């Protein structure tokens, strides 16, 4: 079955057409600046990237542009839309309603909409993509794959905040966690690569991208993760602060004469390694700045690595030991020196890294030495493939 995977944001839409049997990516692309002017890049598997600057006034127009590109005579990859067997949508927040992927119907849309308050930036944008696809392809089955679903196995002791219980009961204020599709995919891969028994395994997955989170996976299930009600909790990230004393919010608001919304914008968009370094949110820029002697960049990177290592330590306690640790996403897959700096804290676990093996970028590899007490891996994540697999599986393919 050919599955169109859609990841729809407020002004952008990423897509891949994947053959779920061969798992080949037939085409991939990105529509940007939707509602502003419009820009599209489309890359067929056996051809060069095509760039189009046609107007994209809304998400419906973006979906139409994707479908035209996929069926285009010159750079298309299918002869007609009838070849698309299903659409898999990335949906960010499923609240407590969705512990697994789901076939999308009117009721599901209403239930996802009910979670909009929990992810006001993401869920409405995701749903715009769902509605646009349903309008244009009413007969094609659609599946929703949630970022939060994998973490629904967390026990109450991990997901509850230490606040009055009524806030959980009345408003569902709790920790949800994100990047679930990635953590699940990578944990399954490490079971296979490290020859672990999935039903008797303790894995810690470090998804380190611009957004970053660590998950403790016991017997294939998430038992704790570093993001919370929103993706702001946990690690220091590209532009997000991660954990801080909530008292900081009021203090900054008063000192800087900012509203609550303005402080949260600072914590989401202007903090993390960007805010700490004053240089960039991108670890390539930070590394370059460090090499040129920029101390703020160096301290930002150190703080990032320290936080990751602290989470690994905490999750080793949560799991009562650990069999494998995995690095994934942009930083985890590419930045050997960051992996090395994090693993430097983990000597107490008997972990040793082989720096030659650690020189790997963007492919699966074990980077620990044969006598390391815990295996350490680099595993590139593939959320699109995971969504295509879920979609095909739910539709009985
Ligand atoms: P997201 O999906 O959260 O936007 P990614 O997983 O694509 O993020 O990761 C993007 C980040 O990965 C970049 O901001 C950059 O910090 C980091 N990154 C990508 N490539 C490299 C590299 N070669 N060396 C160091 N860091 C890298």
Mean per-residue pLDDT pooled into runs of 10, the chain (397 residues):
93 95 97 93 94 93 95 94 96 95 96 91 90 93 97 98 98 97 98 97 97 98 97 97 98 98 96 97 96 98 98 98 98 98 97 97 96 98 97 95
Question: Where along the chain do its domains lie?
Answer: 2-146, 196-383
The domain 2-146: what is its CATH number? 3.30.420.40
Take atom 7 of ligand 1 and give the residue whose Cα is closest.
330
Task: Ligand 1 pocket test: pick from 14, 283, 381 the residue with the most ligand atoms within 8 Å of its Cβ.
Answer: 283
CA 43–ligand 1 middle distance (angstroms): 21
| DSSP state for residue 347 in the 8-state scheme | G
Q: Is 12 in the pocket of ligand 1 (CB under 6 A)?
A: no
Number of C-alpha atoms within 13 angstroms, CB side, residue 287? 10
pTM: 0.95
On the question of a common fold for 2-146 and 196-383, the answer reads yes
Which atom belonging to ligand 1 lies closest to the Cα atom of 361? 23
3-class DSSP assignment, residue 207: strand
Q: Is 7 in the pocket of ligand 1 (CB under 6 A)?
A: no
Number of C-alpha atoms within 13 angstroms, CB side, residue 275? 14
Q: Is 210 in the pocket of ligand 1 (CB under 6 A)?
A: yes
The beta-carbon contacts of 378-381 under 8 Å, at least 24 apart in sequence, are 378/326, 378/327, 378/328, 378/332, 378/333, 378/339, 379/186, 379/189, 379/190, 379/193, 379/326, 379/327, 379/328, 379/333, 380/328, 380/333, 381/182, 381/185, 381/186, 381/207, 381/328, 381/329, 381/333
Q: Is 282 in the pocket of ligand 1 (CB under 6 A)?
A: yes
CA 336–ligand 1 middle distance (angstroms): 12
Take atom 19 of ligand 1 and give the residue whose Cα is closest.
330
Say if CB 162 and CB 105 are below 8 A apart. Answer: no
- Strands 324-328 and 202-208, how do they pair? parallel
Take atom 13 of ligand 1 and give the residue whose Cα is closest.
282
Give the dihedral sign, CA 397/385/158/94.
negative
Q: Is 329 in the pocket of ligand 1 (CB under 6 A)?
A: yes
Task: Ligand 1 pocket test: pick from 330, 333, 341 the residue with the most ligand atoms within 8 Å of its Cβ.
Answer: 330
CA 163–ligand 1 middle distance (angstroms): 35
Take atom 24 of ligand 1 and give the residue whose Cα is closest.
335
Q: Is 208 in the pocket of ligand 1 (CB under 6 A)?
A: no
Active site (annotated) includes residue 139? no
Q: Is 211 in the pocket of ligand 1 (CB under 6 A)?
A: yes
CA 22–ligand 1 middle distance (angstroms): 28
pLDDT at 369: 98
CA 74–ligand 1 middle distance (angstroms): 32
Question: What strands, in cross-sheet order, belong to the sheet with 39-44?
Answer: 50-52, 39-44, 25-32, 13-19, 2-8, 84-91, 142-146, 102-103
CATH class of segment(s) 196-383: alpha beta
CA 25–ligand 1 middle distance (angstroms): 21
Cα 123 from chain centre:
15
CA 381–ligand 1 middle distance (angstroms): 12
Take atom 12 of ligand 1 and give the residue whose Cα is closest.
330
């Amino acid at each position: 079955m050919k599955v169109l995977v859609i990841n729809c944001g407020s002004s952008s839409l990423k897509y891949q057409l994947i053959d779920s049997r061969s798992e080949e990516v037939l085409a991939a692309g990105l529509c940007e600046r939707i509602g502003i002017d419009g820009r599209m890049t489309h890359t067929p598997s056996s051809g060069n990237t095509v760039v189009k600057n046609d107007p994209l006034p809304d998400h419906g127009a973006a979906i139409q542009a994707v479908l035209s590109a996929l069926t285009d005579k010159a750079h298309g990859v299918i002869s007609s839309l009838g070849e698309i067997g299903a659409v898999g949508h990335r949906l960010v927040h499923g609240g407590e309603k969705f512990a697994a992927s789901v076939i999308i119907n009117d009721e599901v849309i209403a239930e996802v909409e009910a979670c909009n308050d929990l992810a006001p930036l993401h869920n409405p944008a995701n749903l715009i993509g769902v509605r646009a696809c349903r309008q244009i392809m009413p007969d094609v089955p659609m599946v929703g794959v949630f970022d939060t679903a994998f973490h629904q196995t967390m026990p109450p002791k991990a997901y509850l905040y230490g606040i009055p219980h009524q806030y959980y009961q009345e408003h569902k204020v709790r920790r949800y966690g994100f990047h679930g599709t990635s953590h699940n995919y990578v944990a399954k891969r490490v079971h296979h690569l490290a020859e672990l028994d999935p039903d008797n395994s303790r894995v810690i997955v470090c998804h380190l991208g611009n957004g970053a989170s660590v998950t403790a996976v016991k017997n294939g299930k998430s038992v704790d993760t570093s993001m919370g009600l929103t993706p702001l909790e946990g690690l220091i990230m590209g532009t997000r602060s991660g954990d801080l004393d909530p008292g900081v919010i009021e203090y900054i608001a008063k000192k800087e004469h900012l509203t609550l919304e303005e402080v949260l914008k600072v914590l989401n968009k202007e903090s993390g390694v960007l805010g700490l370094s004053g240089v960039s949110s991108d670890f390539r820029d930070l590394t370059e700045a460090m090499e040129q002697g920029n101390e703020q960049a160096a301290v930002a990177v150190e703080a990032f690595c320290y936080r990751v290592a602290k989470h690994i330590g905490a999750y080793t306690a949560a799991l009562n030991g650990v069999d494998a640790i995995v690095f994934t996403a942009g930083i985890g897959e590419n930045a050997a020196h960051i992996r090395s700096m994090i693993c430097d804290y983990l000597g107490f676990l008997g972990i040793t890294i082989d720096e030659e093996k650690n020189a790997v970028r963007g492919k699966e590899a074990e980077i620990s030495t044969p006598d390391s007490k815990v295996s350490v891996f680099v595993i590139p994540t593939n959320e699109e493939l995971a969504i295509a697999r879920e979609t095909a599986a739910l539709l009985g393919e």
